[in-house]
């Protein structure tokens, strides 16, 4: 059976695992490994309890207390990026290690989390009851990062460290305890008597029959439940914890001699990959794609067990990261000599109207024990037709090494990759040994020039204003699990209001995102890190120093052929901006990016007002300003040779369909009952309404453009309702506020919001009012007008209810029930440059109508009408036909309507969905940042419930693999006429 997922770098569509045939292969084969895994969670569980991890590799340490996510076992796990930390700063915390048997330990090395005055006592024991002192450093000064102690007490089985002299700024925290014999060899704890390898989930003999069966991609966190006591900056979802995934597969006996790899698009986080009980590889950063060579561990002609351990500790993300194998997994089979993973790099250094010079670097990997001399043929395909080709003989590649073969082609009369016509070519790379083809790959690429100049950004020699948004990686109700259709729909919605660029904030995206941007004409700033060496807001990147180079290499090699990628971003708002002694980190990252890809510039998002002048800006090719529109003018004057842009702008906040009165233009107002008014006037202290950034961009034409925070709402970071008890001040004084203050105090002062308010569209992808101010500004030739607010205000009869209009016209007249409310023209002031405002309209039920004009002629109209009460439901799928591949989606919009068919804007009716046929409910949502309904419930794929939020809700259908037929979706609500729709699965 053929897989429906394709990769631009593959020559051949993947076959089933069982059909992987003996060497020699004509080309590398890649098969999806997404199907039929077994899964179980351990550690911190969704309900807040703790489930012991079976056969834990180093389950031999105990402590008097443990900070959540930093257990005692971390101190003996062999990983210096993890740690044990006590639960408080009190003196006398103990950690005890059971070696499993008496051991002849010569030295004990203690690696502390940080250099400080560490006072401690180390003791040894044969039975865990009677203790002998090995070293006593409980007095004096011991300002160290690590301590090495010599053992002279014989052969203890148990070792105990008592940490003293601690306080609230110096907790007991140990990264690693290492035991060595007199030869300097590491002695590790062993399983206690009565345990066996079969107790460990990495073992082929482990019994997983009671584990859950599932398919990938999988995000365990979004399955919920939401819990009030979980911090809301990461979405109040249970993403913290440990997960194990297991799968068996058979590799044919006659495939022995070939190379086999597991390719992971992303695992959140710290995955360790075991094959038949052996650790085959690992990675630290949850957003990186990586490869593991499993060849040495395979049993050919037999069943092989793949086990993946995933560890999501707390304090590793400022937003909702998801958890698990949340992107695709692939099994790759290659000849012993083959094209390296991501080993084809296509460059177009010279482009004219008549010809393009195309350079191709192909890296060939030789895993044999003999030197080889490969020959590489490069062919450019345009719609299947060969339009250029060349053959190059490589240099000798020694045994066990890699070699690069560079080829040059001339492409005549090239069709350029542009935003409006994103034309893609394919490079067909064929590697031969003598006359035999040993590998072949296809690589998509585009012919285009990218230039960052002090006067802006240029694509193919023409200046393009970047109309960008920042995008987090989650897909709302689907969580972080990768879904190609989910990404495609997001891009469709973004393009509708004028977006031409995305900043992947603050991490590498799924590979499918860049494939779609290539095809749909979207420019991308490809970002790598949110945190470098220094922690930020309590979030650490403990593996940065050891792993950052590997992360840069993998990102560049994976993404460098995408024409959509216009720059690499090394980081975002890192504390190192203000630390001159650490600016070298930024320079190191820039140099690494340039080394791996000399064709693109490097940027970073900078929120430190001094970073442009304190030397940090000199480490970047392109300067990215976060929330500093007032700084553009001086930057252009003071640094005339450096390009710049708004890397993160606006951060206006709003809730779809919520409006609060009186309307105040103070950006710090408009917050009420954990929602934000949708007049689009409100923002946190560091941020601004859209109008302010529009003006700064237009008044400073040297700016290359902006990236709004954010295109879509996302899970987590519910500013302005973070972990702040003062949120209760948004409730009027009296019993209601007192009750809320008491509730917050009980919950540790944690507010209930669980997703962001920043989005131009909400978590479902439903348009907020803000969608239309961007559409009016970014698509000036589109005839459009939009009125806000809705006109259902029975409690406001006779009261002033301001009306705002967004239009691409230059003036408009507003009518209420046919009576003119006056004409407004766009001007140069704060209130009329990008919106038209009628501040004195008094509410009367009926119809608002606006007639917009441009150059004196009618341009566009819009109407808003007072509706009746909820009477019926409607269902509207975005696609009536989807593929039966187990991945494809249909997004169905549910609307609550009155008897005349008009959406009732303030309705919040309870809805029940029921689906039958070859599809399941993959997720439900309503766009309400305070709704705690589980959005993706694996135990309820056929029936789910949620309330409408201001007239709308959403259900997402996902096809079942290999099935076809008609899917019927029904929705019911008490007192309303039900609705039904069908989707065909093919």
Q: In this predicted model, what pLDDT tens digit does every residue of 732-757 receive, in sequence order? A: 556 655 766 666 666 555 788 999 99
Task: Give the β-pairing of 107-117 and 173-180.
Answer: antiparallel
pTM for this entry: 0.88
| Model pLDDT for residues 788-834, shown as the tens digit of each residue | 999 999 999 999 999 999 999 999 999 999 999 999 999 999 899 99
Q: Are 270 and 243 in contact (CB under 8 A)?
A: no
Q: Quote the CA–CA distance of 273 and 33 in Å, as a whole number.
A: 14
User: Six-digit token pair at 581?
Assistant: 């002694």
The reported pLDDT for the residue numbered 194 is 52
Name the DSSP class of 510: P
Q: Quote the CA–CA distance of 427 and 446 in Å, as a whole number.
A: 10
The reported pLDDT for the residue numbered 195 is 53
Q: Are 771 and 708 in contact (CB under 8 A)?
A: no
Name the DSSP class of 395: P
pLDDT-derived band at 3 (thresholds 50, 70, 90) equals: very low
Out of 44-48, 218-222, 735-739, least confident range: 735-739
Q: Rounded mean pLDDT of 673-677?
A: 92
Region 870-983: CATH code: 2.60.40.10
Q: Are 109 and 148 in contact (CB under 8 A)?
A: yes
End-to-end CA, the chain: 15
Q: Quote the CA–CA distance of 873 and 21 in Å, as a whole number.
A: 54
Long-range interactions of 87-90: CB distance < 8 A, separation 24+: 88/171, 89/166, 89/167, 89/168, 89/169, 89/170, 89/171, 90/166
- The CATH homologous superfamily for domain 448-651+686-717+752-756 is Glycosidases (3.20.20.80)
Q: What is the dihedral of CA 77, 81, 87, 92, to 10 degrees?
A: 70
| Model pLDDT for residues 693-704, shown as the tens digit of each residue | 999 999 999 999
524 burial (CB, 10 Å; 0-12 / 13-18 / 19+) is buried
H helix count then E strand count, the chain: 8, 57
Q: Quote the CA–CA distance of 29 and 14 in Å, as a whole number.
A: 6
Q: Rounded mean pLDDT of 822-851?
A: 97
Q: Rounded mean pLDDT of 410-428?
A: 98
Q: Quote the CA–CA distance of 260 and 258 in Å, as a whole number.
A: 7
Asked if pLDDT for residue 473 goes beyond 50, the answer is yes
Tally of CB atoms within 10 A around 709: 30
Helix, strand or coil, per DSSP, at residue 238 = coil
pLDDT-derived band at 20 (thresholds 50, 70, 90) equals: very low
The reported pLDDT for the residue numbered 882 is 98
Q: Are 604 and 571 in contact (CB under 8 A)?
A: yes
Asked if pLDDT for residue 629 goes beyond 50, the answer is yes
Q: Rounded mean pLDDT of 46-71?
A: 78
DSSP 662-728: S----TT--EETTEE-TTS----TT---HHHHHHHHHH-TTS-EEEEE-SB--BS--TTSSS-GGGG
In this chain, the answer to whether the domains covering 335-443 and 870-983 adopt an identical fold is yes
Angle at 872 between CA 868 and CA 876, to 5 degrees: 115
DSSP 940-974: -SSEEEEE-BTTEEEEEEEEPTT--EEEEEEEE-T
Region 335-443: CATH code: 2.60.40.10
Q: Classify the C-alpha dihedral 182-188-192-195 as positive or negative.
A: negative
pLDDT-derived band at 58 (thresholds 50, 70, 90) equals: very low
User: Six-digit token pair at 428?
Assistant: 């067909």
Q: Which helix (H) or strand (E) holds 355?
A: strand 355-366
In Å, the largest CA–CA distance within the chain is 98
The reported pLDDT for the residue numbered 25 is 86
The reported pLDDT for the residue numbered 739 is 66
Q: Quote the CA–CA distance of 234 and 223 in Å, as a whole number.
A: 14
SS3 for 843-896, per residue?
CCCCEEEEEEEECCEEEEEEEEECCCCCCEEEEEECCCEECCCCCCEEEEEEEE
Domain boundaries in the chain? 27-51+201-332, 59-185, 335-443, 448-651+686-717+752-756, 718-751, 783-788+792-863, 870-983
| Model pLDDT for residues 429-454, shown as the tens digit of each residue | 999 999 999 999 999 999 999 999 99
Angle at 450 between CA 572 and CA 469, to 5 degrees: 40
The reported pLDDT for the residue numbered 65 is 83
Q: What is the dihedral of CA 409, 412, 415, 418, to 10 degrees?
A: 60
Q: Quote the CA–CA distance of 207 and 211 in Å, as a whole number.
A: 9
Asked if pLDDT for residue 297 goes beyond 90, the answer is yes
Phi, psi of 862 (to 5 degrees): -150, 150
Sheet holding 456-459, edge to edge: 450-453, 456-459, 462-463
The reported pLDDT for the residue numbered 470 is 98
| Model pLDDT for residues 489-515, shown as the tens digit of each residue | 999 999 999 999 999 999 999 999 999
The reported pLDDT for the residue numbered 39 is 98
Angle at 448 between CA 444 and CA 452, to 5 degrees: 125
| Model pLDDT for residues 521-559, shown as the tens digit of each residue | 999 999 999 999 999 988 889 899 999 999 999 999 999
Out of 2-6, 132-136, 368-372, least confident range: 2-6
Region 27-51+201-332: CATH code: 2.60.120.260
Helix, strand or coil, per DSSP, at residue 338 = strand
Strand partners, 889: 958
Name the DSSP class of 126: S
Out of 45-54, 570-579, 635-644, least confident range: 45-54
**Quick one: what percent of the chain has pLDDT higher than 70?**
93
N residues, the chain: 986
The CATH class given to the 59-185 domain equals mainly beta
Asked if pLDDT for residue 2 goes beyond 60, the answer is no
| Model pLDDT for residues 872-923, shown as the tens digit of each residue | 999 999 999 999 999 999 999 999 999 999 999 999 999 999 999 999 999 9
Asked if pLDDT for residue 847 goes beyond 60, the answer is yes
Q: Are 276 and 297 in contact (CB under 8 A)?
A: yes
Q: Are 156 and 179 in contact (CB under 8 A)?
A: no
Q: Are 808 and 779 in contact (CB under 8 A)?
A: yes
Out of 190-204, 289-303, 712-726, 904-918, least confident range: 190-204
Residue of higher predicted confidence among 550 and 23: 550
- Which is catalytic among the residues 67, 176, 542, 573? 573
Q: Quote the CA–CA distance of 475 and 699 in Å, as a whole number.
A: 35
Mean pLDDT, the chain, integer: 93
| Model pLDDT for residues 368-415, shown as the tens digit of each residue | 999 999 999 999 999 999 999 999 999 999 999 999 999 999 999 999
- Which is catalytic among the residues 123, 340, 648, 658? 648
Among the listed residues 775, 667, 651, the one whose alpha carbon sits nearest the alpha carbon of residue 713: 651
The reported pLDDT for the residue numbered 740 is 60
The reported pLDDT for the residue numbered 57 is 46
783-788+792-863 carries CATH number 2.60.40.10: yes
| Model pLDDT for residues 228-268, shown as the tens digit of each residue | 888 889 999 999 999 999 999 999 999 999 999 999 999 99
Q: Calculate the alpha carbon distances from 103 to 99, 147, 154, 183, 188 in Å.
A: 7, 20, 8, 14, 10
pLDDT-derived band at 169 (thresholds 50, 70, 90) equals: low
Q: Rounded mean pLDDT of 468-484?
A: 98
Q: Which helix (H) or strand (E) holds 596?
A: helix 583-596
Q: Are 872 and 897 in contact (CB under 8 A)?
A: yes
The reported pLDDT for the residue numbered 680 is 98
The question of whether 573 is a catalytic residue gets the answer yes
The reported pLDDT for the residue numbered 367 is 97
The reported pLDDT for the residue numbered 9 is 36
**Quick one: what percent of the chain has pLDDT higher than 90?**
82
- Characterize 104-142 residue by residue with b for buried, 16 or more Cβ atoms within 10 angstroms of its Cβ, and e for exposed: ebbebebbbbeebebbbbbbbbeeeeebeebbebeeeee
Q: Calculate the alpha carbon distances from 119 to 63, 152, 163, 334 in Å.
A: 17, 20, 6, 55
Q: Rounded mean pLDDT of 337-365?
A: 98
Coarse DSSP helix, strand, coil percentages of the chain, rounded to the nearest 5 percent: 15, 40, 45
Strand partners, 162: 94, 121
Asked if pLDDT for residue 724 goes beyond 60, the answer is no
């Amino acid at each position: 059976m053929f897989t429906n997922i394709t990769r631009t770098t593959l020559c051949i569509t993947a076959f089933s695992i069982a059909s992987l045939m003996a060497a020699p292969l004509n080309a590398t084969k890649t098969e999806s490994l997404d199907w039929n895994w077994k899964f179980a969670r351990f550690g911190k569980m969704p309900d807040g309890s703790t489930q012991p991890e079976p056969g834990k590799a180093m389950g031999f340490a105990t402590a008097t207390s443990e900070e959540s996510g930093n257990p005692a076992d971390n101190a003996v796990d062999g990983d210096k990026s993890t740690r044990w930390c006590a639960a408080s700063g009190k003196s006398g915390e103990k950690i005890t290690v059971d070696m499993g048997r008496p051991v002849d330990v010569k030295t004990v090395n203690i690696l502390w989390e940080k250099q400080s005055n560490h006072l401690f006592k180390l003791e040894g024991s044969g039975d865990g009851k009677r203790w002998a002192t090995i070293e006593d450093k409980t007095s004096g000064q011991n300002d160290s990062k690590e301590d090495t102690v010599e053992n002279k007490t014989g052969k203890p089985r148990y070792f105990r460290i008592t940490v003293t002299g601690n306080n609230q700024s110096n907790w007991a925290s140990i990264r690693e305890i290492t035991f060595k014999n007199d030869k300097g060899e590491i002695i590790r704890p062993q399983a206690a008597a009565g345990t066996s390898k079969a107790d460990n989930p990495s073992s082929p003999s482990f019994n997983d029959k009671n584990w859950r069966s599932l398919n990938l991609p999988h995000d365990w966190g979004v399955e919920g439940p939401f819990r009030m006591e979980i911090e809301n900056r990461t979405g109040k979802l249970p993403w913290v914890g440990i997960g194990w995934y297991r799968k068996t597969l058979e590799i044919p006996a006659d495939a022995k001699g070939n190379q086999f790899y597991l390719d992971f698009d992303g695992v959140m986080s710290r995955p360790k990959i075991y094959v038949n009980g052996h650790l085959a590889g690992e990675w630290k950063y949850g957003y990186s794609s990586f490869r593991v060579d499993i060849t040495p561990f395979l049993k050919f002609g037999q069943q092989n067990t793949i086990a993946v351990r995933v560890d999501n500790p707390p304090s590793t993300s400022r937003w909702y990261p998801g958890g698990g194998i949340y992107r695709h997994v692939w099994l790759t089979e290659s000849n012993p000599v083959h094209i390296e993973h991501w080993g084809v790099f296509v460059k177009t250094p010279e482009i004219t109207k008549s010809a393009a010079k195309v350079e191709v670097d192909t890296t060939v990997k030789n895993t044999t024990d003999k030197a080889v001399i490969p020959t590489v043929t490069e062919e450019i395909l345009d719609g299947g037709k060969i339009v250029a080709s060349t053959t190059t003989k490589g240099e000798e590649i020694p045994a066990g090494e890699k070699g690069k073969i560079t080829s040059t082609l001339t492409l005549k009369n090239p069709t350029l990759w542009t935003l409006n016509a994103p034309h893609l070519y394919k490079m067909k790379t064929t590697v031969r040994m003598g006359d035999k083809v040993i590998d072949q790959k296809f690589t998509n690429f585009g012919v285009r020039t990218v230039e960052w100049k002090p006067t802006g950004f240029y694509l193919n020699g023409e200046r393009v204003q970047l109309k960008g948004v920042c995008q987090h990686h989650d897909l709302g109700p689907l969580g972080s699990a990768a879904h190609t259709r989910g990404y495609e729909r997001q891009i469709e919605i973004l393009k509708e209001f004028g977006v031409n660029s995305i900043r992947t904030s603050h991490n590498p995206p799924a590979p499918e995102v860049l494939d779609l941007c290539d095809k749909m004409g979207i420019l991308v700033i490809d970002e790598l890190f949110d945190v470098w060496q220094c922690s930020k807001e309590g979030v650490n990147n403990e593996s940065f120093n050891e792993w950052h180079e590997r992360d840069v290499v993998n990102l560049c090699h994976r993404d460098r052929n995408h024409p959509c990628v216009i720059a690499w971003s090394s980081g975002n708002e890192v504390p190192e901006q203000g630390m001159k002694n650490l600016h070298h980190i930024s320079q190191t990252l820039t140099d690494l990016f340039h080394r791996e890809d000399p064709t693109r510039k490097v940027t970073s998002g900078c929120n430190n007002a001094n970073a442009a002048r304190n030397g940090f800006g000199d480490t970047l090719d392109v300067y990215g300003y976060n929330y500093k529109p007032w700084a553009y003018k001086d930057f252009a004057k003071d640094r005339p040779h450096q390009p710049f842009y708004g890397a993160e702008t606006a951060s206006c906040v709003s809730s779809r369909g919520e409006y609060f009165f009186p309307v105040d233009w103070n950006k710090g107002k408009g917050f009420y009952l954990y929602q934000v008014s949708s007049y689009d006037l409100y923002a946190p202290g560091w941020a601004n309404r859209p109008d302010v950034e529009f003006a700064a961009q237009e008044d400073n034409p040297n700016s290359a453009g902006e990236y709004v925070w954010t295109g879509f709402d996302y899970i987590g970071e519910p500013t302005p309702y973070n972990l702040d008890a003062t949120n209760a001040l948004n409730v009027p004084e009296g019993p209601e506020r007192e009750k809320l203050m008491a509730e917050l105090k009980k919950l540790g002062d944690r507010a209930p919001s669980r997703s962001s308010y920043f989005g131009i569209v909400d978590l479902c992808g439903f348009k907020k009012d803000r969608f239309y101010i961007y559409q009016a500004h970014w698509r000036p030739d589109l005839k459009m007008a939009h009125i806000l607010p809705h006109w259902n205000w029975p409690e406001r009869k006779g009261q002033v209810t301001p009306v705002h209009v967004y239009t691409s016209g230059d003036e408009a007249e507003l009518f209420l029930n046919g009576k003119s409310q006056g004409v407004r023209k766009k001007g140069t002031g704060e209130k009329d440059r990008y919106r038209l405002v009628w501040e004195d309209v008094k509410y009367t039920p009926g119809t608002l109508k606006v007639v917009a004009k441009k150059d004196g002629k009618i341009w566009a109209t819009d109407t808003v009408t007072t509706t009746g009460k909820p009477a019926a439901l409607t269902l509207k799928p975005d696609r009536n036909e989807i593929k039966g591949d187990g991945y494809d989606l249909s997004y169905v919009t549910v609307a609550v309507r009155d008897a005349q068919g008009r959406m009732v804007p303030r309705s919040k009716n309870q809805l029940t969905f029921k689906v039958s046929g070859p599809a399941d409910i993959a997720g439900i949502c309503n766009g309400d940042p305070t709704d705690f309904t589980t959005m993706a419930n694996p135990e309820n794929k056929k029936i789910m419930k949620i309330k409408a939020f201001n007239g709308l809700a959403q259900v997402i259908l996902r096809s079942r693999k290999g099935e076809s037929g008609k899917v019927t979706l029904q929705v019911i609500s008490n007192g309303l006429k039900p609705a039904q729709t069908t989707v065909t699965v093919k």
